[in-house]
Structure 1
């Protein structure tokens, strides 16, 4: 009844670094085979059957949500969700400033609206994916890369 996809993102250099960091944070811990069964969606690519859209309440039912695309997916119980990968391309933001503003509004929401979870996630990602390379801890950096590879198809 609903389909969504995660398109390949078109980005400039600076917002590309931010998009990569955020996407890594979102998808690092999720085994990709399980993603296809989650009730999530990407607001850039949403398509509904008309009846399903109105039966779920449409955008009016989720107008107070920060992550309205995810709320729509959760409300639409009968759906078809897949990762589009190379099938789609989209541009999230038109520059670094827009990327900071856009991700800023979502950051707390994707961390269960819990500042402690957000701080823990930021610390974890810095400790495992960034700092090891700056301080010559190649083994820890490689472990981070291996963990990333392990959750991908």
Structure 2
């Protein structure tokens, strides 16, 4: 069987992947802002590229579309995980998992937010992970039946 914690950790990593995608979008914007046409008023025009910058704009827009599709896929995956977590019987456990894995709060942030000791937060989080493992196993079994 697959481990639910591995799945949850992959979901937690989505935040950094979304930040990387956001950085890519910023780089594409910077590339577009720095585009300029050829100055024909000079005596010599250097380079073999055409004066038309539409090709470069098209390439940048294709990159942007690809990054946006990846962002949408990551957001949908994160939303799907949050739905699975929300289906837990114990809503307190669900809230711990959402705080840690979906909202990417640190243990210290959860401690301050809930006014609990570190050990208590770890205990609640481990309990929630065990609870989610049961739900995760059922979900995987239902997928196995399909295939």
TM-score (structure 2 length as normaliser): 0.24
Give the structure with the higher percent helix: 2
**Relative CO higher for 1 or 2, CA cutoff 8 Å, sep ≥ 6?**
1
Larger Rg: 2
- Higher share of residues assigned strand: 1
Question: Given the two structures, how large is their TM-score scaled by the length of structure 1?
Answer: 0.23
